[in-house]
Amino acid sequence: MIFTSYTYLLFLSIVFFLHWSVPSGWRKYLLIVASYVFYCTWKWQFGFLLLGLSLFNWAFGRWILPRAISTWPLVVGIVANLSSLIYFKYATFLAANAAAALELFGSAWKPSLGDIVLPLGISFFTFQGIAYLFDVATGEAPLESLDDFLLFKALWPQLIAGPIIRLSQIRGQIEGSRTIDYPDIAIGSQRILFGFFKKVVIADNIAPYVDMVFMSPSAPNFLDAAVGVVGFGLQIYFDFSAYSDIAIGSARLFGFVFPENFNWPYASASPQEFWTRWHMTLSTWIRDYVFTPLSFAGRRHPKMAPLWLLIAMAVCGLWHGAQWTFIVWGLWHGFLLISNRLFLRHVFVDSEDASGFRVRRVIAVALTFILVQAGWILFRARSLAQAGLFLTSLVTLRGGLHPALVRENIVLLLSLLCGALFTAQAARKRLGLLPSSSGRVATFFAWTRPFVYACMILAIVVFDQEARAFVYFQF
């Protein structure tokens, strides 16, 4: 069930009305059942995988970890969680690379693992499980009740593509009683509407052009590559932040407050700032559960710190997919973060000291944007060779301003979209203040807001391409 489908809206409405109509003691069970129904509409068999992992983590966290006197039980728990992820997501990749390595020594081994179907959201719920065990092992009290844990693991708005929620962020909301009021409905519905608009009207309408450029087997010209890369940068932002908006909005309707996942990432003035604004729940996960433990383990060798950062970012890349392109994408960002810290500190701007240096900040934002977009080439390319082809076309200005693949409309569309995004970014602080203003401005907003919302709904209906899958579903 895709968030931007009519089926999901029907499902959400039914569960919403049922949830607030049944006695409060039943609500938790209703949400667990609804979450499993949501997950099983895709492939019901994998519902058992989710249930199995949930039972394992609950039991392990409740009975094994609190009694552990060494780190080994935690390692066992993490390995148990990773094993299913490795099998479903990385087995083919690992086997193919092992075969390639063995071929160097004359082996003719050809792995045949067949077609392994990747369970939806496995990367997200595996990472959530690992975080849970880690937190419990480091002192967080485990969830005692099984139904609380099942809800924590399966709650559908965060199940498929995050935000990756940690126990401490949601514990009170799961264990305690939840209520909603008008502001919850208003904020929840608004976030869902924004999410639908970003996904259906923007991301889905850019996607075909991006696909066309990256699916083409021939080398792109400069303009094609630029359209493909910038288009993908916009597509993945609007697509993934749309998913997060709908997830956060849906959860809000049931009284849950999820952490934010995006905060104007393309307004970042440095790679470091970018990672505090992009997929924030993943970046903090990587920081807390990969980088920090590695740094702690290697604390006697402070000069190795950049290496831990590179490893952490490579893991971040690998998490996205079993391809070398993702690993190199992670390494690219690791390299940017190290450069940001060591060599290019004066080029980029720290978000705190930006005032008074507007021109410098604009330059830093533009540079960060370009470097992040360069990374998207690796992320979207089908192979490292294709990524090289794109980079060559961009650097050598291949074909000048004559496209080999794209038409003028998409160049126009992307230019308008970039212009609108950067204008909104520049004005975001003022825009944020406007709705809470008083007097005439408030009256103006009170009357224009319904019109804007109605137009957004109209645009969603009119430009809808029948529920295309979200980009992050493949992770």
Partner 1 sequence: MRTLDKIFFNRRFLLGTPGRTVALLIAFNVGVSMRQGSLADARRANLLAPAPAPATSIPLDQIRYDVSVGDSLAKYLAAIPDARSHRLAILAGMSQMYAINERVPGDETVSEHLDDTLRSSGTRVFGLAAPNLDNEEALFLLLTTLARPETTPAVFIYGLCFDKMRFVDLRPSYLSFLRDHPETRAMLTDIADHYERRFPLASSKIRGTVASLEANPAESEKSVEHLLRDEVGRAVPMVGARKDLNTYLLYNVLYAARNRVLRISNTSKRPMIPGRYALNSELLLLLSDVAKRHNVRLAVYVNPLNPQAENPYVPEEYIAFKTWAARMADSAGISFANLENAVPRDDWGLFMGGPDFMHFKGAGHIAAARAIAAAFRTDLVPGNLASPR
Q: Which of 79, 102, 185, 370 binds partner 1 (CB under 8 A)?
A: 185
Binding status of residue 407 toward partner 1 by CB under 8 A? yes
DSSP 343: T
Helices marked H in 343-439 — which ranges?
358-380, 384-395, 408-426, 428-433
Residue 121: Cβ within 10 Å count: 22
Q: Going residue by residue from 192 to 221, which x/- string records binding to partner 1, judged by CB under 8 A?
A: ----------------x--xx--xxxx-xx
Residue among 42 and 93 whose Cβ is closer to partner 1: 42
Q: How far is CA 370 from the centre of its chain?
A: 20
- Distance (Å) of CA 236 to CA 24, 210, 240, 265: 39, 11, 6, 12
CB of 321 to partner 1, least distance (A): 14
| Span interacting with partner 1, options 60-68, 290-298, 387-395, 447-455, rule CB under 8 A | 447-455
Phi-psi region of 255 (alpha: psi -120 to 50; beta: other; left: phi over 0): left
Q: Which of 75, 79, 113, 186 binds partner 1 (CB under 8 A)?
A: 186
Residue with tokens 């209703």: 30
Q: Which residues contact 445 (CB under 8 A, 6 or more apart)?
A: 434, 435, 437
Active site residues: 320
Q: Which residues contact 102 (CB under 8 A, 6 or more apart)?
A: 109
Residue among 109 and 447 whose Cβ is closer to partner 1: 447
Binding status of residue 458 toward partner 1 by CB under 8 A? yes
CB of 219 to partner 1, least distance (A): 9
Q: Which residues contact 296 (CB under 8 A, 6 or more apart)?
A: none
Rounded Cα distance between 324 and 379, Å, is: 10
Cβ-contact 133, 61 below 8 angstroms: yes
Binding status of residue 442 toward partner 1 by CB under 8 A? no
CB of 254 to partner 1, least distance (A): 11
Q: Which of 3, 468, 472, 475 binds partner 1 (CB under 8 A)?
A: 468
Q: Which of 412, 431, 433, 434 binds partner 1 (CB under 8 A)?
A: 412
Residue among 109 and 182 whose Cβ is closer to partner 1: 182
CB of 350 to partner 1, least distance (A): 38
DSSP 278: S
| Span interacting with partner 1, options 168-176, 272-280, 297-305, 451-459, rule CB under 8 A | 451-459
Binding status of residue 466 toward partner 1 by CB under 8 A? yes
Site size with partner 1, rule: CB under 8 A = 52
Residue with tokens 């500190």: 345
CB of 225 to partner 1, least distance (A): 12
Q: Which of 147, 175, 288, 464 binds partner 1 (CB under 8 A)?
A: 464
Q: Which of 118, 304, 354, 404 binds partner 1 (CB under 8 A)?
A: 404
Q: What residues from 5 to 34 belong to the interface with partner 1 (CB under 8 A)? A: 5-7, 10, 17, 20-21
Residue among 144 and 466 whose Cβ is closer to partner 1: 466
Residue 452: Cβ within 10 Å count: 11
CB of 246 to partner 1, least distance (A): 16
Binding status of residue 182 toward partner 1 by CB under 8 A? yes
Rounded Cα distance between 236 and 203, Å, is: 7
Residue among 304 and 413 whose Cβ is closer to partner 1: 413
Rounded Cα distance between 73 and 53, Å, is: 16
Binding status of residue 43 toward partner 1 by CB under 8 A? no
Residue with tokens 């440095």: 270
Residue among 78 and 471 whose Cβ is closer to partner 1: 471
CB of 110 to partner 1, least distance (A): 19
CA 381, 385, 391, 397 torsion-angle sign: negative
Binding status of residue 116 toward partner 1 by CB under 8 A? no
CB < 8 Å & 24+ apart, contacts of 78-87: 78/130, 78/133, 78/134, 80/56, 81/53, 81/56, 81/57, 81/126, 81/129, 81/130, 81/133, 82/126, 82/130, 84/49, 84/53, 84/122, 84/126, 85/122, 85/123, 85/126, 87/116
User: What residue ranges bind partner 1 (CB under 8 A)?
Assistant: 2, 5-7, 10, 17, 20-21, 179-182, 185-186, 189, 208, 211-212, 215-218, 220-221, 224, 402-407, 409, 412, 446-447, 449-451, 453-454, 457-458, 461-469, 474
